């Protein structure tokens, strides 16, 4: 995720350029491999823990696979270009393609939906409007473009003014009510910024999932064959 420390003249007046810069940060490396821990916390404070690995290539291919505990190990999600997504459940022994109307479903009991985990540039899916400029953030309102199916009517994103990574995104349901809050912590490695932790909170359920990136490898030359249905079902 490339860091941009200098604001170009006129950038603050052009929300689409801000959004494009954010995409360039998020998808800066050619590829990324991550080992992550997930901590699911309910309204009483009780926690459940899981482990997973994630592979990503470019801005439109992502494979997410649980590795622990044993009951969830092997459950996997594959996101490909053109809104193509697959889910693999070892208990059923075969993959299934995720229908467009099911994008809002929770992935394996986490607070992340299939739409949240889908790879893809924001600028290709949302129009943007500049709501506010604060001392530290550009505040953008993102609205799905015509023809883009989304469970969110809009997203309000707080984007770091210096490095252009998102620090907070509040999502609203189709009725216009607050639905979920995503909070990001970014760290720098080599020439890139990457999300070291994402905390997704379901505001209705008072339930959250922390995705903590414990090992990250960038630009390692991941093979295209990783991002295939055949590999999705291999565990």
- Tell me whether residue 5 is in a domain: no
Report if residue 4 sits inside a domain. Answer: no
Q: For the whole model, what pTM was predicted? A: 0.91
Structure confidence at residue 1 as a pLDDT band (50, 70, 90): very low
pLDDT digits (tens, 9 = 90+) for 194-233: 999 999 999 999 999 999 999 999 999 999 999 999 999 9
Note down the domain range covering 68: 11-232
CATH code: domain of residue 124: 2.50.20.10
Name the domain count of the chain.
1
pLDDT digits (tens, 9 = 90+) for 56-106: 999 999 999 999 999 999 999 999 999 999 999 999 999 999 998 899 999
Residue 3 falls within a domain, yes or no?
no
**Using H for helix, E for strand and C for coil, what is the string for the chain?**
CECCCCCCCCHHHCHHHHHHHHHHHHCCCCEEEEEEEEEEECCCCCEEEEEEEEEEECCCEEEEEEEECCCCCCCEEEEECCCEEEEEECCCCEEEECCHHHCCCECCCCCCEHHHHCCCCHHHCEEEEEEEECCCEEEEEEEECCCCCCCCCEEEEEEECCCCCEEEEEEECCCCCEEEEEEEEEEEECCEEEEEEEEEEECCCCEEEEEEEEEEEECCCCCHHHHCHHHHCCC
């Amino acid at each position: 995720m490339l860091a941009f420390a200098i604001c170009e003249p006129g950038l603050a007046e052009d929300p689409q350029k801000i959004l494009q810069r954010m995409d360039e940060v998020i998808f800066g490396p050619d590829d990324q491999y991550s080992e992550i821990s997930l901590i699911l916390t309910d309204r009483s404070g009780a926690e459940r823990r899981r482990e997973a690995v994630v592979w990503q290539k470019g801005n439109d291919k992502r494979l997410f696979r649980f590795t622990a505990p044993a009951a969830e190990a092997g459950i996997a999600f594959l996101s490909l270009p053109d809104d193509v997504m697959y889910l693999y459940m070892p208990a059923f022994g075969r993959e299934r393609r995720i229908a467009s109307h099911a994008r809002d479903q929770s992935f394996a009991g986490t607070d992340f939906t299939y739409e949240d985990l889908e790879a893809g540039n924001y600028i290709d899916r949302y129009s943007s409007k500049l709501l506010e400029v604060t001392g530290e953030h550009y505040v953008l309102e993102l609205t799905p473009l015509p023809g883009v199916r989304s469970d969110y009517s809009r997203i309000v994103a707080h984007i770091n003014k210096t490095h252009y990574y998102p620090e907070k995104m509040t999502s609203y349901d189709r009725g216009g009510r607050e639905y979920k809050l995503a909070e990001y912590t970014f760290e720098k490695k080599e020439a890139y910024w990457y999300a070291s932790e994402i905390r997704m909170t379901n505001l209705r359920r008072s339930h959250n999932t922390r995705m903590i990136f414990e090992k990250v490898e960038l630009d390692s030359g991941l093979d295209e064959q990783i991002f295939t249905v055949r590999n999705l079902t291999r565990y």
